[in-house]
Amino acid sequence: MFNLKNKVAVVTGGRQGMGRTHALILAKAGAKVVVSDISKEDCQKVVDEIEKQGQEAIAVKCDVLKKDNIDKMIKETLKRFNRIDILVNNAGIVQFAPFLELTEKDWDKMIDINLKGYFLCAQRAAKEMIKQKSGAIVNIASIAMGQVGIGFNGLVHYCATKGGITAMTEAMALDLAPYNIRVNAIAPGMIDTPMVNSIKQDPKAMEGTLARIPLRRAGRPEEVSSAVLFLSSDESSYITGATLTVDGGWLAG
């Protein structure tokens, strides 16, 4: 099960946090992996880890704010590995800002990275996947996606992007189904990565957050990567347009 031999995977935002563990787990399952992020140097460290595991990977600089970077990432993938089977749209930012103080600049930046970046990467990758009539795109959303019975104050722009990702995932799944390209999303709860450092450093915020999670702990990045592996593999061959929550029971609570 979960054999990705002869498959090629691209992971955005792969230098640290969940992107790093997505890259490691996909490589462990046999995929050749393209680790991309703003810092190529840090991606190379992940590539070194993958090579130590005995698998193949390359590091590619890609700022998802820049369309030419995305194009270059796909071109470098094809040059080295000839195909692209899996895209994990993972690169993202978070920023806390009370709604009334949220600036247009911060709104635009959030939308451009977390939403437009996902669109541009998925469209560019899908244009290659179409040629081989197969592919899997996994979009990392969040339980902050809305319509799930919980809300997050101070995160209006972040929530807008994550809700946008789940809606976009459904629509993309319909457009790409005729080409046998599946598109799914994952909605993580609180996962222990550098992104949540500010919450971890605030004992009160941490206590309040853990109280809302039935498993009473933050998730480990690799616990989300297992879901990425499932949705990237043929074991999920009849799943498309879905959003899978990986949240320690938060939404059930």
Question: Nearest distance from residue 213's CB to ligand NAP, in Å?
Answer: 11
The residue among 177 and 215 lying less far from ligand NAP, judged by its C-beta, is: 215
Question: Nearest distance from residue 229's CB to ligand NAP, in Å?
Answer: 15
Say how far apart CA 193 and CA 232 lie, in whole Å. 22
User: Which candidate, 110, 108, 161, 156, places its Cα nearest to that of 139?
Assistant: 161
158 is catalytic: yes
Question: Nearest distance from residue 249's CB to ligand NAP, in Å?
Answer: 15
| Amino acid identity at 54 | G
Q: Which residue is nearest to ligand NAP (CB)?
A: 17
Residues in the chain: 253
Q: Strand 86-89: give its sheet, edge to edge.
A: 57-61, 32-37, 8-11, 86-89, 135-140, 181-188, 243-246
Say how far apart CA 231 and CA 103 lie, in whole Å. 36
Question: Nearest distance from residue 98's CB to ligand NAP, in Å?
Answer: 19
The residue among 84 and 187 lying less far from ligand NAP, judged by its C-beta, is: 187
The residue among 93 and 239 lying less far from ligand NAP, judged by its C-beta, is: 93
Q: Are 233 and 5 in contact (CB under 8 A)?
A: no
The residue among 181 and 228 lying less far from ligand NAP, judged by its C-beta, is: 228
Write out the residues near ligand NAP by the rule CB under 6 A: 12-13, 15-19, 37-38, 62-65, 90-94, 113, 140, 142, 188, 190-191, 193-196
- The catalytic residue positions are 158
